[in-house]
Chains A and B, each alone.
Chain A
Amino acid sequence: MGTVMDLRKEGFHMKKIFALLLSMAMILAVLPLTSLAQEKYIIGVAFQNVTSDTEIQKDYYTNELAPALGMEFIFSEAIKDTETLVTFIENCYAKGAVGIINYYTAGRGRGAEAADQYEMFFITQASKLDDATLDLEYNLGNCGASVDGMARAYTAAMESVLADGENHSVLMCTTAAVGQVAASHYYSTQAMLETMQNKYNLTYSKSIDEIINTDSPGEVDTGNPNIKIFLVPGTDNDKTLATISTPLQSGDYDIFVAVSGYANYTSAIAEVERAKNMDIKVVATASIEKQTLTGFTTLDPLGNPILNAVILNPLNVANAFCAAAIYNALNGGAEALKDADGNAAQLFVNPWPCPDAETYANIAKLDTEHDTYVINADDLQRLMVTSNPDANHDSYAEYLMELADIDAIIARKIK
């Protein structure tokens, strides 16, 4: 009816006006009334994954590093691709950030460029530098896991689980090993494949490099039908969980290895152990957190601990060095952090091998409060140019070597 149309039209116009007014009220309502004057350095932290240890890291950033360095940290959601990283960097710039600590290794090149464009200092937690961005003024380089250290640690861990002389088959999550996106992942995987090869005299049909760089999951041709190796690449935890399901449930694999975290997979592993009445040994990278202790102390259905060996990633050590590096750059020390040619440089953090629950019990006391942080506000002074004018790349590397000795750290920190 024409008349009904007019009625509706009139009502519709009123709704339009109302909606527009409400929109403007909403926009104005979210505007805070606080001053915009910058009191602290604002630093963006771009996490690659958000897992159980992320909260521990956030606490460390907020409670220990921030007051000591006069910083305020903005944390991202999980960064899954370069586009998201670039957007996060841009949003940080919008908020007045002056530095970025980046965890998304695949995006370190493009991220460095974006940060450089907005004159923000940029440092990545990775083990391999991006050659194309070494010369960028604001790129400070990397502070990541020592590839040699990780390789040694994984070799030791594998040797310990293979020590019984029996045949074992291994399911490996290689995460970002393909293409050395994360160099530590690549070298850790290489170390384990070499260990298996040496232990069982395996003859791989392809080179280890080719095996690691296969970007789809699959079984490795080991030349020995009694020894199976299944590799699963990929940084998406959910997809990896779905992929490992079939080989895991076959019951053929009694060792599970992850070059990064393992927490996502414990339920699936426990289920198979129960169903097949078998013990699956777990070797993985972990952090100092409650879950790791639980992994060592909780028993699986066959009475064995869930975790057998971990390579502890001293995350907060890397976090402290990254934040301090940016602090120094902001206080005139940027060049000191670079290499002799003035390019972005690499710093290596050594992992702490932890073969059993007893060892972990001691380590677990670290990083819980100010006095037990491996690098607390007092230790930070050594890294800050404002209190230690000699702080530079070499002194950082030296300090990191000292921190490889976990026993010394425990002796110092745990009274």
Chain B
Amino acid sequence: MTDVAIREPSSLRNKLLSVWENRWTTRLMPFVILLLIAFAFSLATGGRFLASRNLTIILNQALVVATVATGGTFIFATGNVNLAMGATTVLCETVSAMAFLAILDAGGSVELGLVVMFVISVTLAVFIMGFSAILSTKLNVRVLYVTIVMMTLLAAIQQALLGGSTLTIPSKITRMLANNNVHYIIFGVFFAFAVVIFHFTKIGRTLRFIGTNEICAHQTGKFKKDYLLLAFVIGGLGMGLGAMVAIIRSGSVSITTLSSLNMDTMLAIVLGGMSVFGGSKSFVYAGVIGAVTVTALQNGMVMVGVDSNLIQGVRGLLFLLLVAAAQKRPHGLPAPEG
């Protein structure tokens, strides 16, 4: 608490401080950072960075992470960390691709195959995430530990299914889907759905409040176990849809596909301005902004000719600095309460 009276700011410095402390500053800071990056690289590349084709490349590269991260923000808002997002997405990609190819092999139509692929991907992801949530609440084990176990289990299942082989969807089909902007539609619809749920309904507000103070939320009639399940279901939806976007983008899945997706997703969410502790400073667009920022950064560095060996190092350092600029850190040891 503060032991000081609140006074009206009188000087320019005070006015600037007021702006800095304004809630919109926190929300808009990730956008500002992204714009600054775009501006800097645009200058350096004589405008090539902002060419529509390059922007499309950035969007395409960011789309899988953006989709999964959008769903992931529902889980992160509750103050929980999910390490099984990548493994879930890849397993859904594998199973749905297998189903699609099986249908084609059996003489089924491409349309049927696509519908089945979509349904299986989404259903499986929702099931896996729902199961994880129930496991956590029933066994009273932290979400982090449950998802570590699930991550290992799902990777083992994928290994057993795929072995050393690579599943490839006929490129004519992925080309057709890409030409019809199906991946953008999937992301767009899901993002719109997520924005409405997260920012305009009881669900989103409750998830954020649980992340802020679980006990207080309980005392206002919001039970963590119910809402955690919801968060995971929506998160699973994002993963299932992310798997579809990944299939459209790459057309194949092997044991090494999207191996860093979980880390990339968490990085995107954090870089997009959301706190790792969730709570009230959670925004559903954080994952999208973060994913695009990461990709734009990498793209820009490639364009200006930074050595590929250096890119990872520079990326890591820049992330640390940008997170330091954008994140509000707790005042003590890591704890959910701010």
Which residues on A are within 8 Å of B, measured CB to CB? Answer: 1-3, 5-6, 8, 12-13, 15-17, 19-20, 22-24, 26-28, 30-32, 34, 36, 77, 80-83, 86-87, 90-91, 93-95, 106-107, 109-110, 112-113, 118, 130, 132-133, 178-179, 181, 215-217, 233-236, 239-240
19 examples of A-B residue contacts, CB within 8 angstroms: A13-B20, A19-B321, A23-B322, A23-B325, A24-B36, A26-B314, A30-B301, A30-B314, A31-B40, A36-B48, A81-B250, A82-B250, A83-B258, A94-B303, A110-B250, A113-B174, A215-B162, A216-B164, A234-B163
Q: Which residues of A contact B43 (CB under 8 A)?
A: 31
Kindly state the separation between the CA atoms of A179 and B163 in the bound complex, as whole angstroms.
Answer: 12
CA distance A93 to B58 in the complex (A): 12
Flag if B321 contacts A23 (CB, 8 Å).
Answer: yes
Task: Answer yes or no: B275 CB below 8 A from chain A CBs.
Answer: no
Contact residues in A for B44 (Cβ distance below 8 Å): 31
Shortest distance in angstroms between A399's beta carbon and chain B's nearest beta carbon? 31
Residues of B within 8 A of A113 (CB): 171, 174-175
- Docked Cα-Cα span, A13 to B33, in Å, equals 16
| Contact partners of A82 in chain B: CB under 8 A | 166, 168, 250-252, 254, 257
Q: Which of A6, A24, A32 has the most CB of B within 10 A?
A: A24
Contact (Cβ within 8 A) B166 A28: no
B318 CB within 8 Å of chain A? yes
15 additional A-B pairs beyond A3-B4, A133-B171, beta carbons within 8 Å, are A2-B3, A13-B21, A17-B325, A20-B322, A23-B33, A24-B40, A26-B317, A30-B306, A81-B254, A81-B257, A93-B53, A94-B303, A106-B252, A215-B165, A216-B163
Residues on A with C-beta less than 8 A from B57 are 90, 93-94
What are the 10 closest A-B residue pairs judged by CB atoms, nearest first?
A234-B164, A2-B2, A215-B163, A215-B165, A80-B256, A19-B324, A82-B250, A19-B325, A31-B44, A83-B250
Q: Is the CB of A90 within 8 A of B163?
A: no
Residue of B nearest to A181 (CB): B166
A239 to B33, CA, bound (A): 41
Q: Which of B2, B17, B45, B246 contacts A3 (CB under 8 A)?
A: B2
Chain B residues near A87: list those with CB within 8 A. 61
For B305, give its contact among A2, A32, A233 (CB under 8 Å).
A32
Chain B: minimal CB distance from A180 (Å): 11
B1 within 8 A of A: yes
Closest residue of B by beta carbon distance from A22:
B321
Are the C-beta atoms of B166 and A179 separated by less than 8 Å? yes
Tell whether, in the assembled complex, residue A6 and residue B4 are in contact, meaning their CB atoms are under 8 Å apart: yes
Docked complex Cα distance between A326 and B46 (Å) = 28
> Cβ of A236 and Cβ of B164 under 8 Å apart?
yes
In the complex, the answer to whether A28 meets B258 with C-beta atoms within 8 Å is: no
**Contact between A233 and B170 (Cβ–Cβ < 8 Å)?**
no
Please encode chain B, from 240 to 279, with 1 for each CB lying within 8 Å of some chain A CB and 0 for all others: 0000001001111111111100000000000000000000
Nearest CB in chain B: distance from A224 CB, A: 26
Q: How far is the CB of B56 from chain A (nearest CB, A)?
A: 9
B308: chain A residues within 8 A (beta carbon): 77
Q: Which of B21, B170, B317 touches A132 (beta carbons < 8 Å)?
A: B170
Binary interface encoding of chain B residues 32-49 relative to chain A, with 1 for a CB under 8 A from any of its CBs, else 0:
010011001101111010
Bound CA span A5–B172, Å: 60
Indicate if B304 sits at the interface (CB-CB under 8 A).
Answer: yes
- Indicate if the CB atoms of A8 and B249 lie closer than 8 Å: no
Please encode chain B, from 119 to 146, with 1 for each CB lying within 8 Å of some chain A CB and 0 for all others: 0000000000000000000000000000
Which parts of B320-335 form the interface with A (CB within 8 Å)? 321-322, 324-326, 328-329, 331
Contacts of A17 in B (CB 8 A): 325
- Most chain B CB atoms below 10 A, which of A30, A77, A179, A217: A30
Q: Whole-angstrom distance between the alpha carbons of A36 and B51 in the complex?
A: 15
Bound-state CA distance A15–B33 (Å) is 16
Given contacts A27-B40, A81-B257, A106-B252, whether A235 and B164 have CB atoms under 8 Å apart is yes
Q: Are A81 and B318 in contact (CB under 8 A)?
A: no
Once the chains are docked, how many angstroms separate the CA of A236 from the CA of B165? 10
Cα(A332)–Cα(B63), bound, Å: 36
Closest to A235 in B: B164
Cβ–Cβ < 8 Å partners of B2 in chain A: 2-3, 5-6
In the complex, what's the smallest C-beta–C-beta distance from A70 to chain B, in angstroms?
A: 19
Asked if B80 is at the interface of the complex by the 8 Å CB criterion, the answer is no
Query: Is B302's beta carbon under 8 Å from chain A?
Result: yes
Instruction: Report the Cα distance A90→B170, complex, angstroms.
Output: 21
Whether B82 sits at the interface, judged by CB under 8 Å, is no
What residue in chain B is nearest A233 (Cβ atoms)?
B164
For the complex formed, measure the closest distance between the CB of A79 and the CB atoms of chain B, giving whole angstroms.
Answer: 10
Q: A31: which B residues are within 8 A, CB to CB?
A: 40-41, 43-44, 304
- With a CB–CB cut-off of 8 A, which chain B residues contact A26? 314, 317-318, 321
Residues of chain B contacted by A109 (CB below 8 angstroms): 168, 171, 251
Interface residues in B174-201 by Cβ distance below 8 A to A read 174-175
Contacts of B252 in A (CB 8 A): 81-82, 106-107, 110
Asked if B280 lies at the interface with its beta carbon under 8 angstroms from chain A, I say no
Check: B54 CB closer than 8 A to any chain A CB.
yes
